[in-house]
Structure 1
Amino acid sequence: MSAEHRAGAHTYRATLAWEGSTGAGYTAYAREHEGAVPPATEGFALSADPHFRGDATRANPEQLLVLAASSCQLLSFLHVAASAGLDVLDYTDDAEGVMPEDVRPLRLTRITLRPRVLVAVGSDVSRFHALVHEAHASCFIANSLTTEVVVEATVEVAPKENPS
């Protein structure tokens, strides 16, 4: 999403477009739509979750919320690690959001982030675990949600290179 800074506030924009007809009822209209986040030049294809009659080959809003939480944690973590002078070599996440059908109003009740972090040889892993929690506390997206966001991080030290 593009960010503009105006008088002490950051503003983010997103555009959305859908075309069709709901005249034939809930089961008949298309859920496919297009989204964009200017000034990024590429848009993306969206739909509803397949459970709600959407197209499984397109991203849905619930997935995007989980992705936003995951991406924010990554960026917050890289910031605090770099600021602390620590060397992160690789970061992957297998994030998951849960939306129980028996909770009303229907909503994601928990997002679990499972980052796997690879750090440079000689790194103090305990420092990285502390930074994972610091990053979570400063993540803009997690702080914006009422949904519980849990971070279950694994930190590994890169294998030593064999001397030739």
Structure 2
Amino acid sequence: MTAPVHRYTTTCSWSGSTAVGYAAYDRTHAAAADPADTALALSSDPAFGGDPARLNPEQLVVLAASSCQLLSFLAVAARARLDVRDYRDEATATMPEDDKPVRLTEIVLHPHIVLAAGPSEERVRHLVEVAHRECFIANSLATPVRVEPTVEFVG
């Protein structure tokens, strides 16, 4: 029996005119991923002429890494019978323009994980590492993804 192959399809669309030159054309575009009902209105990073009120592709990559780690950790924790009560991540990424080709050179996830008392912090940190190894997005990126968790227990 062969393992299933998952396929993902997205659409991006833009219309307007670039005849006004690089500095003036509108970077706003739409993105969707069937079968999800929600479409996104995106732009480029404001440093490249984009609308700061809209998400940009670089932020989406960081969000994808953060979301995948969250989902992977919750799955690992649930299988280990840990009671996770809250998980909040403030992820960061670095993209230096003087390091060619310009790219995200590092993504750092900073999850703050709150759990019911019971497991040791060492066990939780081990499961964070397991989740990181199982994270589909981190495994798909050439950019290194680092996870620096803080762990808190509540009674």
User: TM-score, with normalisation over the residues of structure 2?
Assistant: 0.95
**Structure 1 CA distance for aligned equivalents of residues 144 and 21 of structure 2:** 35
**Structure 1 CA distance for aligned equivalents of residues 3 and 19 of structure 2:** 44
Cross-structure match for 2:19: 23
Residue segments in structure 1 that go unaligned for 5+ positions in a row: 1-5
**Structure 1 CA distance for aligned equivalents of residues 3 and 73 of structure 2:** 27
Cross-structure match for 1:128: 124
Query: What is the identity, as a one-letter code, of the residue corresponding to 1:18?
Result: W
The answer to whether 1:149 aligns with 2:145 is yes
| 1:96-116 per-position Cα deviation (integer Å, ceiling 9, x unaligned) | 010011110000000000000
Residue segments in structure 2 that go unaligned for 5+ positions in a row: none
**Structure 2 CA distance for aligned equivalents of residues 24 and 94 of structure 1:** 38
**Structure 1 CA distance for aligned equivalents of residues 18 and 37 of structure 2:** 30
More strand per residue: 1 or 2?
Answer: 1
| 1:17-72 per-position Cα deviation (integer Å, ceiling 9, x unaligned) | 11101122211211001111111111111000000000000000000000000000
Structure 1 residue ranges (4+ consecutive) displaced by more than 6 angstroms after TM superposition: none
| 1:81-133 per-position Cα deviation (integer Å, ceiling 9, x unaligned) | 11111111100000001001111000000000000000002332221100000
The answer to whether 1:38 aligns with 2:34 is yes
The answer to whether 1:74 aligns with 2:73 is no
**Structure 2 CA distance for aligned equivalents of residues 7 and 120 of structure 1:** 36
User: What percent identity do the matched residue pairs reach?
Assistant: 56
User: TM-score, with normalisation over the residues of structure 1?
Assistant: 0.90
